[in-house]
Chain A
Amino acid sequence: MEDIKIQKPPKKYMNPYLAGVLLGIVILLSFYFTREGLGASGAFKRVVAKVEQTIVPSHLESENSAFHHYVTDGKDPLKNRLVYMIVGVFIGGFISGAINRRLKLKLEHSPKITSKKRAIAALIGGALFGLGSAFGRGCTSGAGLDGMAVLATSGFVVVAMIFGAGYVFAWFFRKLWI
């Protein structure tokens, strides 16, 4: 705050319990209207399927692809509610960022590591998460949050494993964060 700022600082984050209740209501409405809950990873799997359809259609259409059911009967992999939902997530995130003055192009990292190190970690972490959400049949939202909301065993196991593995490996990767 020592130098003169023309821009106002970002607004404070929402109370986490209020955000949680609102998010819970959104999940409830999703089940009420569309029979299914939230999801994020599904849309990206469908983007991958769409790319495969263009480059290696023979792989995608065979039993050797985990996504061949996305294209059975000539279906378009992108014609799915999860694709529309992720477009919404980008729009909603952008609106909140604009209202709260948080729109800014930046690579966020701990002051103890370089931008390059953070970039590589983000890429590797993303790849591991991609593999994990394929095995887990959904990610934190689609498998975890929805699963817990409907009291499904899969949801509780996936969440326990995500947090459990996170705590187990936290010590090894502490230099990335603290």
Chain B
Amino acid sequence: MGPLFNANDEWSFVIALVIGIAFGFILESAGFSSSRKLAGVFYGYDFVVLQVFFTAAITAAIGLLFFEYFGWIDLSAIWINKFYVGSAILGGGLMGLGFIIGGFCPGTSACASAIGKIDAMLFLGGFIIGVIIFDLFYPLYKPFYKASSMGASMIYDVLGMNKYVFLLLFVIVAILSFVGTAYIQQRVSKKTKKY
């Protein structure tokens, strides 16, 4: 039964390399190597980010629950990122701001750098500077960073729902967002110049 290896196992390194190749290949193929395409999600002219992102999330979530149902994976053994309320909210907000100014996120900037996008290389340079700044002044906000932990909190527990019901709702919301954004994109694209 999965997970087959621990994340620190050397086999995981080899598998991570292969998974990274697939990850980078898919991102580039879908157009995530263009900041102007990525930024489209915020201006209504291209919703590819939302479409790929939510399709991937629901595919993986449904897959994990099926794997559990068939007894192929022990979901209690997989890694769940802990939820620190204040730090997660601030972090997400800063990432949103960074995205709208810089036009990338770390994964997409790596794959865009690989095909020669200079703006992506600069974004990565900036990213490293941001991480250095965070670490140099870490003592200032360490208490905040570690405050209000809810542990490995699950969204369906917080909402007081059965996990299968939550997943069904998540899928429905995702599909509605695909339909809605397709409509918006059609209307906005008539007005905005295509690039």
Instruction: Please report A residues at the B interface, Cβ cutoff 8 Å.
Output: 13-14, 16-17, 19-38, 40-41, 44-45, 47-48, 52, 59, 64-67, 80-82, 84-97, 100, 102-110, 118-119, 121-170, 173-174, 176-178
Chain A residue nearest to B25 (CB atoms) is A92
Is A158 in contact with B91, judged by CB distance below 8 angstroms? yes
Q: Mark B83-112, 1 if CB is under 8 A from A, else 0.
A: 111011111111111111111111111111
Residues of A near B34 (CB, < 8 A) are 108
Q: Which bucket holds chain B's interface residue count?
A: 35 or more
Q: Are B21 and A95 in contact (CB under 8 A)?
A: yes
Distance (Å) between the CB of A120 and the closest chain B CB?
8
> Given A64-B138, A85-B17, A134 and B91 touching (CB < 8 A)?
yes
Given contacts A13-B31, A19-B52, A149-B64, contact A161 B89 (CB under 8 A): yes
With known contacts A125-B100, A134-B130, A106–B19 Cβ distance under 8 A: no
Q: How far is the CA of A143 from the CA of B33 in the complex (A)?
A: 20
Write the chain B residue with the least CB distance to A79. B13
Interface of B is mostly: helix
State in angstroms the CA–CA spacing of A140 and B123 once bound together. 15
Closest residue on chain A to residue B57 by CB atoms = A148
Q: Residues of A contacting B176 with CB < 8 Å?
A: none
Bound-state Cα–Cα, A68 to B48, Å: 38
Residues of B at the A interface (CB closer than 8 Å) are 2-9, 11-31, 33-37, 39, 41-43, 45, 48, 51-61, 63-64, 67, 72-73, 75, 77-85, 87-120, 122-136, 138-139, 142, 145, 150, 152-158, 163, 166-167, 178, 192, 195
Contacts A132-B98, A139-B105, A164-B96 given; does A37 touch B79 at CB 8 Å: yes
The chain A residue with its CB closest to the CB of B81 is: A154
Residue of B6, B95, B126 touching A124 (CB-CB under 8 A): B126
In addition to A24-B55, A38-B19, A130-B130, 6 A-B residue pairs with Cβ atoms within 8 Å of each other are: A16-B30, A22-B22, A34-B12, A35-B12, A92-B28, A143-B91
User: In the complex, what residue of chain A is closest to B105 when comparing beta carbons?
Assistant: A140
Q: How far is the CA of A16 from the CA of B93 in the complex (A)?
A: 26
User: Of the candidates B24, B64, B112, which one forms a contact with A92 in the assembled complex, judged by CB atoms under 8 Å apart?
Assistant: B24
CB<8 Å pairs between A and B, sample of 11? A13-B29, A16-B48, A25-B59, A28-B64, A32-B3, A33-B19, A40-B110, A119-B118, A129-B98, A130-B134, A145-B60
